[in-house]
Structure 1
Amino acid sequence: MRDRTRARELADEFNRKGNPTGWFEALYREAEEGKSTVPWLDYHPTPHLVGFWMLHPQQTAGKSALVVGSGGGDDAEQLAAWGFRTTAFDISETAIRSTRKRFPNSAVDYHIANLLDPPTPWRGQFDFVFEANTLQVLRAALRRQATKNIAAFLRPGGLLLVIARSREPSDPEGQMPWPLTRAEISAFAVLGLEELLFDILPDVEEPEVRRFRVLFRLPQT
């Protein structure tokens, strides 16, 4: 089982301070100093991204991809290896610096950026957007804006792949990471995206975790 104790402590501390996203940089900095760990860093591409690609390979030549909350950079590097012109961002300066050091010859364009206030030039610019596990570490009050901003990255005809922990509406939200309901995932459709694929998949964790894997498309205008 992953130890999320320190991540939860920091999330609560920064939320009390009125800075609900400040804990990401604090956690990465502590991890760099050897005082803590980042529980979502596996140092390999997200298995459900790789599984999706094996079942539904996409055309990548001349196409652009964006990774939301890039963490250690493994998903961005994988998308670049598949042929996308890839951009990736994280709110943590330490995360981005560590990733650039880890992949010194990377073709990925890494940025420090905040999903809640992303760079305006990215709006409507990407053919493929990948979001895995970022929404579930944002408090519910922030998810609506985050969801809108993720959808806005797509150009017409672009695809969005979302992976997140799932729960039933009757289940307690529990501790961070906070699983999403079907309605929360469907907020992308409310914003005008078409739902193309919907999977609920098990993860090898103790206790067992189930995840949504959902593919959306922004219709052509």
Structure 2
Amino acid sequence: MFEEKPLSMQNRVKTLASEAQAQNQPYAWFEPLYAQANGNADQVPWAKSAAHPYLQAWLSEHPQPAAHSKALVIGCGLGNDAEALQAHGYQVTGFDVSPTAIAWCQQRFPNSAVDYQVADLFHLDPSWNQAFDLVYECRNIQALPLNLRPQVVGAIAPLVAQTGQLLVVTRIRPDEQECEGPPWPLSPLELAEFEAYGLVETDRATFVEGETVTVQQARILYQYAQG
């Protein structure tokens, strides 16, 4: 499942991310990355030909949701995860900060029922607060610098309905481990920041991937504490 990307692609990502940070626009590098790909998904480091296998496995273990259940896919990229959730029975909204990515989704899935939107995680429609039965976050937090962690968590947590769930897929690292990114894996202390919003971890699956380079991965489910 984990594929080590060519060094040239890693360097391109790091260069784009560094330039964006230097301009104090730490997530402005997503649009040029998608635009420079020129429709070639192989040039998008996280692009897959199907839904993320961790999401597929999770869906296979869970029944279809209740009628009219709403799901939100954060940073939906090329749309595979959003389409999988829609096929499972959710009414799905998928958003990305990159207009090119959203146009690509609409081109790939012209008859899709998914509502694809261009949106900025830090400036979302207030009507989205507590509006989703499932919020799915796959590797977007880790693509943003460490100093933005509290702000990112604070943008994601309020989207979850009181009876809803948050599903997070991410690389993980020990609290004491320093890292250079992107990506910047999440530490236990950073993941625990969701607790400040009332979300508690209810399930976790961990994975070790790679051969020449091993990567710690986790799929974590959060819900609001009841009672």
Residue matched to 2:200: 194
Deviation of 1:218 after TM superposition, in Å, equals 2.4
Bigger drift between 90-99 and 48-57 goes to: 48-57
Tell which deviates more after alignment, 83-92 or 46-55: 46-55
1:104-183 equivalent positions in 2, closer than 5 A: 104-183=110-189
- Report how far residue 31 of structure 1 moved: 0.6
Deviation at 1:206, TM superposition (A): 4.2
Structure 2 residue identity aligned to 1:13: E
Q: Deviations over 1:77-109 (max 9, x none)?
A: 000000000001000000000110000000000
Number of residues of Structure 1 aligned to a counterpart in Structure 2: 221
Query: Which sits farther off after the overlay, 144-153 or 194-203?
Result: 194-203
Contact map agreement 2:64 2:89 (CA 8 A) in 1: no
Question: Kindly tell me: are residues 205 and 73 of structure 1, through their superposed partners in 2, closer, same or farther at Cα, counting changes over 3 Å?
Answer: farther
Distance in 2 (CA, whole Å) between partners of 1:10 and 1:202 is 28
Give 5+ residue unaligned stretches, structure 1. none
* Matched residue SS, 1:116: helix
Residues 128 and 165 of structure 1: CA distance in aligned 2, closer, same or farther (over 3 Å) = same
Secondary structure at the counterpart of residue 57 of structure 2: helix
Structure 2 residue runs of 5 or longer lacking an equivalent are none
Report the Cα distance in structure 2 between the residues aligned to 1:94 and 1:108, rounded to whole angstroms.
Answer: 17
Among candidates 2, 14, 24, match of residue 18 of structure 1: 24
Residues 1:2 and 2:8 aligned together: no
- The residue matched to 1:7 in structure 2 has which SS? helix
Deviation at 1:175? Answer: 2.4
Correspondences of 1:17-96 after superposition (within 5 Å): 17-32=23-38, 37-96=43-102
TM-score, normalised via structure 1 length: 0.93
Task: State the AA in 1 paired with 2:162.
Answer: P
Could you tell me which residue of structure 2 aligns to residue 207 of structure 1? 213
When normalised by structure 2's length, the TM-score is: 0.91
SS of the aligned residue for 2:165 comes to strand
Equivalent position of 1:185 in the other structure: 191
Identity %: 37
